[in-house]
Structure 1
Amino acid sequence: MITFDQVSVTYHGASHPALTSLDLTVPEGELCLLVGASGSGKSTLLGTVSGLVPHFTGGVLHGQVTVAGRDTRTHRPRDLADVVGTVGQDPLAHFVTDTVEDELAYGMESLGLAPEVMRRRVEETLDLLGLAELRNRPLATLSGGQQQRVAIGSVLTVHPKVLVLDEPTSALDPGAAEEVLAVLQRLVHDLGTTVLLAEHRLERVVQYADRVILLPGGGQPPRYGETAEIMAVSPVHPPVVALGRAVGWSPLPLSVRDARRRAAPLRARLAELSPAPAPAPAPARPSGSPAGSPAVATVTALAVRRGVVEALRRVDLTLRPGEITALMGRNGAGKSTLLSSLVGLHAPTTGRIDIGGTVPHKAKPATLLRQVGLVPQEPRDLLYCDTVGAECGAADQDTGSAPGSCRALVEQLIPGIPDDAHPRDLSEGQRLTLALAVVLTARPGLILLDEPTRGLDYAAKARLVDILRELAAAGHGVLLATHDVELAAELAHRTVVLAEGEIVADGPTREVVVSSPAFAPQVAKILNPEPWLTVRQVTEALAADGTA
């Protein structure tokens, strides 16, 4: 269905190809998973299938990409629209109409299909994706999972043979992600659609993949093969695979269910051991913060109304210096609203927010800058310069930091981003890293992050964990809103769960996530009822006991 014949892509001004030596065939009716580090060329590869590369992005394409018999060098994206459907990370950016039914029909209207054909296909797609009850709903009122299903449906109505998806679950809560993945499974199994999927959160998708394309980066040729075969050697792999590799399971399990079937002897060994206690929050406060205050932020009886929606209700929350808190909950629970309120973007309807003696929505930006900093879901909102070097220089100047401070943070998170690169030309993970470094340059007493690992590979996530731990050890409070249960298990001292704008759980991470099927990490599910959260805990305990 998709054939790559000695494909390489080089962008103008680049020192090395974005993609090199790709020579493989993806069969019809398979789900092929694309894995690799940030900047390894995953988005470029997806673009070659849809024709966006090089017709839209520019650059030079060597070799040949053939999709359903059509050469993408001679067929522009509009010439491939009836055979290739593309869905990006942000469904709202994909929409061009206002309601579900109109969005499903738009692609067919563009191709000039007959009205009776359009009506039939809309009905078929509504049933296929479980959207019939939402047909007249405004797109802006849908949950994240519902929006992603509509985005998929809008390309399915033209009956494409190939579906290309770039990080389709990155912004979704675990439940919504399962909805989307169930749809993809149905398309592959029931309709024979070929799905090419790039995703960093491999713990969600690896069990569904028929084959994997691994892009090692660094000029190394891609690898292609059965999922278990590639996962055995891939530097990018989910916790279930990491656990299997650590304890020597063969063949490697790809799902929690497979791992639990193998884990009885391991659970027996671990029953006699205990996880190392989580490090306690640092009691110190960051330099420059008011002395004598027991908290970096206090939220009291907070309610926030956005239009007719009561986004937050009776929220009481104290954030302490040195403590890392994970804020979790389904899409639409109020997480982003709470973070925005803490930086003064929303005034409380009732209640109060106090950050180091400052009321955020009344404070001047210059005053608030060193008290609290927010990395939003969309990092473009913070970036306004033409190059990475200029962004870093502006951050140093705005915060009064030593020259090079911001650039050093960028290099620590994801090494190798050139100074002269334009922020819009960076990968999603690289752009997020740059925005994070801009905020961290000010070293604010309270650091807020909204989905900070969206678009980050496992190596970049590990570097982010190290940086946030260092900041917490220096006395900064950290609050991160995330759907990444693995990140919460690895990093957070405390987890707060929001639902319908109210706090429904607040306590030590180990207690909160283990008791929740939705928010438990893979290791906790595999080793339940033993109290283990991460692969690192398991390997350290076995090594200390001498049984690894």
Structure 2
Amino acid sequence: MIHFENVSVRYDDAAQPTITGIELTVPEGELMLLAGPSGVGKSTLLGAVSGLVPHFTGGTLTGRVTVAGRDTRTHKPRELADVVGTVGQDPLAHFVTDTVEDELAYGMESLGLTPPVMRRRVEETLDLLGLATLRDRPIATLSGGQQQRVAIGSVLTTHPKVLVLDEPTSALDPAAAEEVLSVLQRLVHDLGTTVLMAEHRLERVIQYADQVALLPAPGKPLQVGDPATVMADSPVYPPVVGLGRLAGWTPLPLTVRDARRAATDMRTRLTDLSPSPKRVPAATDRDTGLAVTRKLGVRRGRVEALRNVNITIAPGEIVALMGRNGAGKSTLLSTLVGMIKPTTGSATLTGEHPHQLSPRDLIRKVGLVPQEPRDLLCADTVAAECTAADRDASAPPGTCRTLLTDLLPGIAQDTHPRDLSEGQRLTLALAIVLAAAPPLLLLDEPTRGLDYAAKSRLVTILRDLSADGHAIIMATHDVELAAELTHRVAILADGEIVADGPTPEIVTSSPSFAPQVSKILAPQQWLTVSQVAQALS
């Protein structure tokens, strides 16, 4: 269905091609997972399937890409629209209408489908993706995860033969991600749809893949094979594979179920051992924390986004806000950074109300990395962004650039931020905010678009900040990150905090938010592969 014949892509002014000599075939009716470190060209390869590369992005494509027999060099994206459905990393760039129902119908209108067919498919998609209650909502009022589901739904309604998905679950809560992946699996198995998907959160998707194509570092060949074979030597792999490698299990498990069956001896060896406790910040008086909310309520239009939220954040504490899409996590962060004024109750930073502070005073108290990193980027080059960040933060020259290199090496100084991948843009935004080293750091989906190596570097930086007394609150659906890094987890539902406590206690008691290692070794409270490795050594 999809054929790459010696395909290379070089963008204008780039020192070297983004992808080189790609030979790849994706058979009809299969789901192929595209894996590899950040910045190796996964999005470029996907764009070549839909014709966006090079017709829209520019650059030079050599070799040949065919989809259902159509050559993407001679067929522009609009001439492939009836065959290929594409969802990029940024759902906002995908939307052309204002409401959910209109967006689901737009693609079918463009293809000239009849109103009865359009109505039926819209209803089917609303039910499939859990969007029925949002059908009349303006897209601008949805959470990032809800917007991502709408973007996926708008492609599914046209029933394309080929689906190209770039990080489709990156902003989805675990339950919503599972629903979307189950839908994709049904399309592949029942309708013969061909799916090519790039995803960093391999723990979510590896079990659904028929084949994995591993894009390694530049200069090394593309590796294609069944998931277990590729994962045996892959530099990027999910925790279940990491635990299997540690234990020497053969065959290598890809699912929690298979790993549990193999883990009997490991659970026995760990029976009398316990994870090393995390350093927990000193207890802080309930009313004198670095950030405090009391009976906080926020109404956004017709939606009561937060109600009766009480939370205290101590210096040095790392807290994860978790919950389904639309639960109020981003609204709570926006309130703490002063972007939203409380409707009822209060939110304070060291006793002051953030919405009453000037921007100059606010930046020295709190920093926010939003879901959409482009909101922080306004310069023409990476170097100019870093220079401006150092100046605004009154930091020594080179501070932001050093942080950026620590997080993700190899980003050129003269690159325009719009030419970065979603993960690279997020990393740049993180470095800009971290340059100011504010006492309170707020992160909204900080690992979206990051590979495992970049996440590991981020964890190290955030731990160092915590050790220096900085408090960190992150809204995240990344249960593996929460297990690895945080001291506490607070779960929100419909604008209220329904659980708040130590990370091991909260995540192991919730099937939705438990990390893979916890599920494999339950009822013991092990959370990460590194904990197990340390105990067994």
Q: TM-score range by the shorter chain?
A: over 0.9
Residue 131 and residue 354 in structure 1: after superposition, are their counterparts in 2 closer, same or farther (change >3 A)? closer
Deviation of the 1:276 alpha carbon: 1.1
- The one of 359, 365, 390 equivalent to 1:365 is 359
Displacement of 1:315: 1.3
SS class of match (1:475): coil
Give 2:528's aligned residue.
534
Pairing of 1:147-546 with structure 2 (within 5 A): 147-281=147-281, 295-543=289-537
- Structure 1 segments unaligned to the other structure (5+ residues): 285-292, 544-548
Instruction: Identify unmatched segments of 5+ residues in structure 2.
Output: none
Deviates more, 1:351-360 or 1:495-504: 351-360
Letter in 2 for 1:438: I
| Greater mean deviation of Cα atoms: 521-530 or 151-160 | 151-160
The reply on whether 1:63 has 2:57 as its aligned counterpart is no
The structure-2 alpha-carbon separation of the partners of 1:499 and 1:124, relative to structure 1 and needing over 3 Å to count, comes to closer
Residue by residue over 1:311-336, the C-alpha shift from the partner in whole angstroms, topping out at 9 and shown as x without a partner, is 11111111111111111111111111
- Cα distance in 1 for partners of 2:349, 2:167 equals 35
Report how far residue 244 of structure 1 moved.
0.5
**Deviation (angstroms), 1:218:** 2.5
Matched, 1:28 2:28: yes
The answer to whether the Cα contact below 8 Å between 2:145 and 2:326 also exists between their aligned partners in 1 is no
Name the SS of the counterpart of 1:43 in structure 2.
helix
Identity in percent: 72
The range that moved more, 60-69 or 132-141, is 132-141
Change (3 A) 1:193 1:496: same
- CA 1:101–1:296 in structure 2 vs 1: closer, same or farther (change >3 Å)? closer
Q: Which residue of 2 aligns with 1:110?
A: 110
Task: For 1:128 and 1:320, locate their aligned partners in 2 and report how far apart those are by CA, in whole Å.
Answer: 41
Q: Distance in 2 between matches of 1:204 and 1:45?
A: 21
- Determine if contact 1:333/1:498 at 8 Å carries over to the other structure: yes
1:228 Cα offset (Å): 0.7
Distance in 1 (alpha carbons) for counterparts of 2:219 and 2:209: 25
What SS does structure 2 have at the residue aligned with 1:449?
strand
Alpha-carbon RMSD across the aligned residues, in angstroms, is: 2.0
How far residue 126 of structure 1 moved from its aligned partner, in angstroms, is 5.6
Conserved 8 A contact 1:510-1:533: yes
Identify the range of structure 1 (517-526 vs 325-334) with the bigger mean alpha-carbon deviation.
325-334
8 A contact 1:145–1:180 mirrored in 2:
no
Q: Which amino acid counterpart does residue 259 of structure 1 have in structure 2?
A: A
1:353 Cα offset (Å): 2.1
Q: Deviation of residue 133 (structure 1)?
A: 7.2
Amino acid at match of 1:249: W
CA distance in 2, matches of 1:42, 1:22: 11
TM-score scaled by length of structure 2: 0.95
Counterpart contact for 1:161–1:193, Cα < 8 Å: yes
Find the counterpart in structure 2 of residue 290 from structure 1. none
Could you tell me which amino acid in structure 2 is paired with residue 53 of structure 1? Answer: V
Q: Determine helix, strand or coil for the equivalent of 2:224.
A: strand
Q: In the alignment, residue 5 of structure 2 is paired with which amino acid?
A: D
TM-score by length of 1: 0.93
Give distance in 1, aligned partners of 2:282 and 2:451: 28
Aligned AA (1:488): A
Report how far residue 459 of structure 1 moved.
0.4
- What is the CA–CA distance in structure 2 between the aligned matches of 1:142 and 1:354, rounded to whole Å? 26
SS of the residue aligned with 2:320? strand
Task: Count matched residues.
Answer: 535
Name the CA distance, whole Å, in 2 between partners of 1:504 and 1:77.
Answer: 46
User: For residues 142 and 298 of structure 1, what CA distance do their matches in structure 2 show?
Assistant: 26
- The whole-number CA distance in structure 2 between the counterparts of 1:358 and 1:101 is 42
1:27-46 correspondence to structure 2 within 5 Å: 27-46=27-46
What is the rounded CA distance, in whole Å, between the counterparts of 1:132 and 1:504 in structure 2? 24
CA distance in 1, matches of 2:89, 2:363: 30
Q: CA separation in 1, counterparts of 2:135 and 2:400? A: 47
Residues 282, 53 of structure 1: alpha-carbon distance in 2 compared, 3 angstrom cutoff: farther
Shift of 1:370: 1.1
Deviations 1:189-235 (A, max 9, x none): 11000000111111110010000010112222211111111111110
8 Å CA contact retained: 1:401, 1:441: yes
